[in-house]
């Protein structure tokens, strides 16, 4: 069977052997009753690592995001969101369907929030205006980019929100990628946001779950909402166990993914006709465009697949590749040579 190099996302990773053993040996209990010791250990470890009071283990980043908005907002309020954010683009209209809030999108070029423009978006109290109930930011800033939001910019958003009595929620699905890229403790990134989520299934390579974090009052309400939307687990320690191993073992190797992404981006950018902006490779995500080449994106991806490489289509002329656990330098070199071969033979 031909080896497949799957670069569509860092969610395609396989768990490490240590994770598999932890799953098998997990001590479990009824999580709805608060009696699963492994889940409680994961939530406590995550809260300690990110400097928050409490944590909530959930099935996915999307679930965490939706629970967070439902916890912070009331029906009919307005939520400021990045126009390229996951919560706005890729969660099946959950903000409207579940929280019944109105979104007010803001452009986030190069992963930086325009504070003056954000201030203009905040709705003043008025008989015809929806109240701004929440500001949602994202780090890394995704939609096929993985851009690191500067620390000072996050703090500017938080200062603006605090001055207006508005909470700030961070979708930190790949927050550890941001921390590694900035070479700082993850606590520094999230210390001023009111709540944050991170995914266990992306850069950390666990097979399941995310953790939502905030103060005890927030998490108590979030846990109740999680139950309402069908997130009540029984013996969840079996899946939480891999998350504990992920937090303890996988963070130090994230820099390898970043190095591989830069290697891949530089190699692709040197191929004539292919467009890759290497200045936008902050972490483990690379985007490329074939718009200058005489090939459709479908044919390009098909030719890649014939060579055992999977990439993600992100527009009519562009694709995404993501480096992760299981991808090494030899894979990167093979991908570069394969793309070069495809383009040279057009």
- Asked if residue 281 and residue 238 are part of one domain, the reply reads no
- Asked if residue 240 and residue 333 are part of one domain, the reply reads no
- Asked if residue 114 and residue 207 are part of one domain, the reply reads yes
Closest CA to 55 of 183, 240, 192, 248: 240
- Asked if residue 332 and residue 235 are part of one domain, the reply reads no
pLDDT value at residue 238: 97
Of the candidates 249, 279, 303, which is a domain's last residue? 249
- Asked if residue 276 and residue 242 are part of one domain, the reply reads no
Per-residue pLDDT of the chain (346 residues; tens, 9 = 90+): 478 999 999 999 999 999 999 999 999 999 999 999 999 999 999 999 999 999 999 999 999 999 999 999 999 999 999 999 999 999 999 999 999 999 999 999 999 999 999 999 999 888 999 999 999 999 999 788 999 999 999 999 999 999 999 999 999 999 999 999 999 999 999 999 999 999 999 999 999 999 999 999 999 999 999 999 999 999 999 999 999 999 999 999 999 999 999 999 999 999 999 999 999 999 999 999 999 999 999 999 999 999 999 999 999 999 999 999 999 999 999 999 999 999 999 9
Of the candidates 215, 231, 249, which is a domain's last residue? 249
- Asked if residue 264 and residue 191 are part of one domain, the reply reads no
Of the candidates 249, 264, 285, which is a domain's last residue? 249
Residues of the domain holding 100: 17-249
Reduced DSSP (H G I as helix, E B as strand, rest coil) percent helix, strand, coil of the chain, to 5: 45, 15, 40
HSE at residue 70, side-chain half, CA atoms within 13 A, is 23
pLDDT value at residue 94: 98
- Asked if residue 303 and residue 229 are part of one domain, the reply reads no
- Asked if residue 306 and residue 186 are part of one domain, the reply reads no
How open is the CA angle 122-125-128, to the nearest 5 degrees? 100
- Total domains in the fold of the chain: 2
- Asked if residue 91 and residue 166 are part of one domain, the reply reads yes
- Asked if residue 169 and residue 27 are part of one domain, the reply reads yes
- Asked if residue 164 and residue 45 are part of one domain, the reply reads yes
HSE at residue 332, side-chain half, CA atoms within 13 A, is 23
**Model pTM?**
0.97
- Asked if residue 206 and residue 59 are part of one domain, the reply reads yes
Query: Which domain CATH number covers 326?
Result: 3.90.1150.10
Query: Which domain CATH number covers 31?
Result: 3.40.640.10
């Amino acid at each position: 069977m031909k080896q497949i190099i799957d670069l569509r996302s860092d969610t395609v990773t396989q768990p490490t052997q240590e994770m598999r053993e932890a799953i098998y040996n997990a001590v479990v209990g009824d999580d709805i009753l608060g009696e699963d010791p492994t889940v409680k250990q994961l939530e406590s470890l995550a809260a300690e690592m990110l400097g928050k009071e409490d944590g909530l283990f959930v099935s996915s980043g999307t679930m965490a995001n939706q629970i967070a908005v439902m916890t912070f907002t009331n029906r009919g309020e307005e939520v400021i969101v990045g126009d390229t954010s996951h919560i706005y683009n890729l969660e099946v209209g959950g903000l409207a369907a579940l929280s019944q809030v109105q979104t007010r999108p803001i452009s986030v070029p190069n992963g930086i929030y325009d504070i003056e423009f954000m201030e203009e978006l905040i709705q003043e109290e008025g008989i015809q205006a929806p109240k701004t109930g929440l500001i949602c930011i994202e780090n890394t800033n995704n939609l096929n980019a993985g851009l690191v939001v500067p620390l000072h910019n996050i703090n500017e958003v938080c200062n603006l929100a605090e001055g207006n009595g508005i909470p700030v929620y961070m979708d930190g699905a790949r927050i550890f990628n941001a921390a590694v890229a900035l070479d700082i403790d993850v606590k520094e990134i999230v210390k001023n946001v009111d709540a944050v989520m991170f995914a266990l299934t992306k850069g950390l390579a666990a097979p399941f779950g995310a953790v939502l974090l905030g103060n005890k009052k927030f998490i108590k309400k979030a846990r109740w909402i999680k139950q309402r939307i069908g997130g009540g687990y029984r013996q969840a320690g079996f899946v939480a166990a891999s998350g504990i191993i992920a937090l303890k073992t996988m963070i130090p190797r994230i820099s390898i993914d970043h190095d591989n992404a830069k290697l891949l981006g530089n190699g692709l950018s040197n191929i004539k006709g292919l467009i890759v902006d290497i200045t936008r490779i902050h972490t483990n995500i690379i985007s490329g465009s074939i718009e200058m080449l005489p090939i459709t994106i479908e044919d390009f991806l098909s030719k890649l697949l014939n060579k055992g490489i999977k990439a993600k289509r992100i527009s009519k002329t562009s694709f995404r590749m993501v480096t992760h656990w299981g991808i090494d330098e030899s894979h990167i070199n093979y991908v570069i040579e394969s793309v070069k071969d495809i383009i040279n033979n057009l």
